[in-house]
Structure 1
Amino acid sequence: MKSIYRKHTRKLLKVSFATLVFTASLSSCSKDFLNLRPELNIPEDNMFDTPERILTHVHGLYASAKDGRLMAGRYFIYNDIRAEEFVNRTTNGVTGLNVYNHTNDAATTQVNNFWIQGYMTINRVNKFLEDFDLYPGVVSPELEANYRAEAKFVRAWMYYALVHMFATPYTQDNGASPGLPLRLQAETNTENNSLPRSTVAEVYQQILTDLNEAEADLPESGSADKTRAYRNTAIALKTRVYLAMGDYPNVIAEANKIVSPAAPFTSPDGSLGLETSVEIAFATPYAGNNRENILSMPMEENNAPGTQNQMGYYYNTGNGNIEYYLNTTTGNLGGIYAHPQWGENDARKTQLTAEASGLQILTKWAGEAPFIDWIPVIRYAEVLLNLAEAEAEAGDQARALALVNAVHTRSDAENPLTSSGNEDLIEKILTERRIELLGEGFRAPDLMRRGQAIPSYGAGGMISPNSSSYVFPIPVGEVQTNPDL
């Protein structure tokens, strides 16, 4: 295992970056791009010589993030199965069993792959940004700024995904712990492998720098299917990042850019808001053309996430297979399914869960091959819940209750939430996150940013913040090739 990973890593670094970018660009972030005939054997010197080829690079950045080992499945799955919401049925080692059991170590293949794909995407961003300096004037200054902003958004997104999985939560010590190697220049060989870990705070600062610069230059409106970043995308991700930092005033400040002061909560231009029903937000096959979508990963039959990476394969029947079903038990390791805040008539229970083979399963994604329901990366419902939590912690409690009720009563209109005080309100908001965002990769990050133990059903107990399995270990391949760690 160790030698395989190391061989793969070194091969990756030695390959021409033009090849890396082009390989990623064969997978697309739009239907039209999927149907383009690829240009083969383009010399590296010509990869930036036309506007069309530069756009291909842009698509390639999203395609690299969309790899099944990363944002087309496993990122979201790992963040949920390591807590208490799901129960493993198949004991299939390929589908996250070690993560579920908290027995994954530095040599676990799936964790290694996650790290590799994340950093490979970051390197593609770095090379893309540097190449613009070498090929001025191929596109207009406005379009170049737009493309650079998209690249910075992707880099920030990747660093956030990596830092909260492989490093101590920011809130534990205000970011003083070792974070990640912060790679900001393009690498095409092994000369600069040695790089120490920056602190968690330094990584978060880079994330925010990229997002702030992206916000300034991204277009004000996105495409109908929201498969590429636009201004609201950067703002929405900042609310998630600031929440992870426990910086509630900045969550409020950012969210207020895209959330109206009072219900019904929408963005100022009216382009974003909750759909009238959660069924519409997750219509099958899921696509990105709803008001709630801020960013999605698109899929096509010839561009599916890949074997045993798909959300529907894990959680739905998967052509007769159920990898993980909903935990319906109660108690310290009980799942959200049995929580009294999630009523029996709640549409999220009646429409997005079902019984199969005597088990309760999550049906947000279709359970039939080739599993091409799109993956929601950022939804407006999350932004409202981010803002609700921040308002409850550091702002207007009445607005916090209105925000959480906007999400709750959309699916359970007969039972609006009430609050008996600040602690009760915060607890109800956190519970609502478990219901609304179930299966979308938020459970472990939500626990960790609040300094809580992870109630692991797979491990059969509570994983404390001091446990060696609380965060993922730096993969063995990085340790072997980066002596400065």
Structure 2
Amino acid sequence: MKNLNQLKYIIPVVISLVALPSCKQFLDVKPKDSVADDLTIFDKASSETAVRGIYRGLAADNYYGLNFTSIGYLSGDNVKWTGSQSIVQDFINHNVKADNATISGVWAAIYNVINRANNAIAKIPGVNDVNLLQSEKNQLIGEAYFIRALAYFDLARTWGGVQIVTTPTTSATDKNGTPRSTLAQTYAQVLSDLNTAESLLITPTAQNPIRANKETVWALKARYYLYQGDWANAEKYASQVLGDTQYYSLLKPYSAWFANNVVASKESVFELAYSATYTNGERGQWQPPVNGGTRQWAPNDAFVALVNNPLVGGTRSSLVASAAIGWYGNLYYRSPATDPAYIIRIAEIYLIRAEARTQQYIVSGVTTQRDGALADLNLIRDRSGLVPTTATTGADILLAIENENRVEFGLEGHRWFDLVRTGRAAAVLGITDTRKYLLPIPVDQVSADLPQNP
């Protein structure tokens, strides 16, 4: 298609406000002529609704509500597909085609979130409402910048360099000719947005992991710098988050952060909330028919063996359960499906710091870095009922961290991205064709301005 016809998917034309009484208020996407553009965000209530709409887009089925996360675990080595749809099996086989409906939906959902953020960033600063304090404006704008950073981060690690759009879309053609940026430029946009968000947001004054704050920014910065191989900054920002023990801590036993209908626990740095009227799509895919699900995907034999091994899984065996149909994942189990979407957990921050410290130890030989890494790693092991690791060399510690990540986040969307960023996908998964480390651009997005990945 010529001249960015992909913008019909990239960004909805305009947003209009839908005021709902619950926390699930969101921006409804409608054609431009459904509401005057200058009225979409004009006072305190519409500004707050606009930002809630960004979160709603983040939680959609095609983003963190199901499909984007599924790319991370289906492409790894913990999950099997029990159905017959080839578009799902293609992720497990690492044979994803450009016409795969899942990647088209995910792409559209991420750019939908970006456009919602762009509207908030562009319009909230100009809102003149005596009831909207400057500090409240800063918070709302900062949240929009943070979520836009997360969206571009997810695009970058999934597709590489993409088109960077930082202003609202006002017509079907106003972004025609937007070139594809490089991977470095895309990651630079992520960091720029994180820096701006950090300057606007405040440190938390109450535990509320469903809304971004300054420490949420630090957590994503820790992950960002880990992906960049900037070990010192990865350690720095992880330490800043871990220093706040008032609001964040590992919970023991392992299942305490998700079992018994718990939400917004101290384990969560950032999670997304759902309700009986706006449910999480994960549950239906994991639970077996006896529990009202379809068990379309399930933990594979290798992962079941790992989590049920008391020397490897420990109490993380709570992630799986068995039924007559076979083993199934039990992270998403609530009925109705109000399970949170877990985006950043404090366990990840400990393992980020452990990896960053180990990498610095390998370079410098400073034993305090190694000892700190082992301390972080052993905290994760201890809370799962495991004895301290026996790893002592840098290489062995990195492997121990990799293995811990695999089990700790076995049913979350980490495994594939971890193996690609560490260069371990070939050794672990046997994928030697590096072109497969990125997904193809959806076929309906490809144009002269947005060339296909190799």
TM-score normalised to the size of structure 1? 0.82
Q: CA deviation at 1:89?
A: 1.2
Any residues of structure 2 matched to 1:59-70 within 5 Å, and which? Answer: 59-70=52-63
> How far did residue 118 of structure 1 move?
0.5
Instruction: Compute the displacement of 1:481 (Å).
Output: 8.1
Looking at structure 2, the residues matched to 13 and 80 of structure 1 have their Cα atoms a distance apart, in angstroms, of: 27
Count of aligned residue pairs for this structure pair: 436
Secondary structure of 1:234's aligned partner = helix
Partners of 2:320 and 2:383 in 1: how far apart?
Answer: 17
Helix, strand or coil at the partner of 2:328: strand
**What is the aligned-residue RMSD (CA, Å)?**
3.0
**Does the CA-based 8 Å contact 2:306-2:313 persist in structure 1?**
no
- Is residue 210 from structure 1 mapped to residue 193 from structure 2 by the alignment? yes
C-alpha deviation, 1:321, in angstroms: 2.6
Shift of 1:240: 0.9
Q: Counterpart of 1:376 in 2: which secondary structure?
A: strand
1:364 aligned residue (331, 350, 369): 331
- Report what 2:396 is aligned to: 424
1:313 aligns with 2:289: no
User: Counterpart of 2:258 in structure 1: which amino acid?
Assistant: F
Kept in 2: contact 1:453–1:465 (CA 8 A): no
Is 2:261 the counterpart of 1:285? yes
- Contact 1:9–1:477, Cα closer than 8 Å, also in 2: no
Equivalent residue letter for 1:108: N
| 2:269 counterpart of 1:294 | yes
Taking structure 2 as the reference length, the TM-score comes to: 0.87
- 1:403 alignment counterpart: 376
- Please give the alpha-carbon distance, in whole angstroms, between the structure 2 residues aligned to 1:231 and 1:114: 27
Q: 1:455 to 1:194 in 2, by over 3 A?
A: farther
- Shift in Å at residue 328 of structure 1? 2.1
Cα distance change on mapping 1:397 and 1:432 into 2, 3 Å = same
- Evaluate the alpha carbon distance shift between residue 205 and residue 322 of structure 1 in structure 2; reply closer, same or farther with a 3 A threshold: same
Secondary structure at the counterpart of residue 15 of structure 2 = helix
Deviations 1:149-192 (A, max 9, x none): 1110000000111110112xxxxxxxxxxx11111122222132
Residues 86-485 of structure 1 mapped to structure 2, 5 A cutoff: 86-93=79-86, 96-136=88-128, 139-167=132-160, 179-189=161-171, 190-221=173-204, 224-259=207-242, 267-268=243-244, 270-288=246-264, 290-305=265-280, 310-317=281-288, 319=292, 321-329=294-302, 335=303, 337-338=305-306, 343=311, 346-349=314-317, 351-357=318-324, 359-366=326-333, 370-395=336-361, 396-413=369-386, 415-453=387-425, 462-466=430-434, 468-480=435-447, 482=449
Using the TM superposition, give the Cα deviation of residue 196 of structure 1 relative to its aligned residue in structure 2, in angstroms. 1.7
- Which 10-residue stretch deviates more, 202-211 or 219-228? 219-228
Amino acid at match of 1:214: A
- Does structure 1 retain, via aligned residues, the 8 Å contact 2:118–2:167? yes
Give the 3-state SS of the residue equivalent to 2:217 in structure 1: helix
Partners in 2 of 1:11 and 1:252 — Cα distance?
37
Shift of 1:216: 2.1
Taking only the aligned residue pairs, the percentage that are identical comes to 24
Distance, in Å, in 2 between the alignment partners of 1:126 and 1:166 is: 21
How far residue 245 of structure 1 moved from its aligned partner, in angstroms, is 1.2
Q: Residue by residue, what CA displacement relative to the aligned partner does 1:433-468 show, whole Å, maximum 9, x if unpaired?
A: 111111111001101111222579xxxx622252x4
Distance 1:91 1:14, change over 3 A: closer
Alignment-derived partner of residue 173 in structure 1: none
Residue 93 and residue 225 in structure 1: after superposition, are their counterparts in 2 closer, same or farther (change >3 A)?
A: farther
Q: CA deviation at 1:473?
A: 0.8
Structure 2: which amino acid aligns with 1:300?
S
Query: In the aligned structure 2, how far is the partner of 1:155 from the partner of 1:342?
Result: 41
Letter in 2 for 1:362: G
Once the two structures are superposed, residues 390-418 of structure 1 have per-residue CA deviations (whole angstroms, 9 ceiling, x without a partner) of 111114011111101101110124x2212
Q: 1:342 to 1:199 in 2, by over 3 A?
A: farther
Query: Deviations along 1:309-358, whole A, 9 cap, x unmatched?
Result: x22222332525322222224xxxxx474389862771101x22212236
Counterpart of 1:378 in 2: which secondary structure? strand
Indicate how the Cα distance of structure 1 residues 57 and 391 shifts in structure 2: closer, same or farther if over 3 A, else same. Answer: same
Compute the displacement of 1:219 (Å).
Answer: 2.3
**Matched residues in 2 for 1:194 and 1:42: separation?**
26
| Alpha-carbon distance in structure 2 between the residues aligned to 1:201 and 1:253 | 22
Structure 2 gaps, min length 5: 362-368
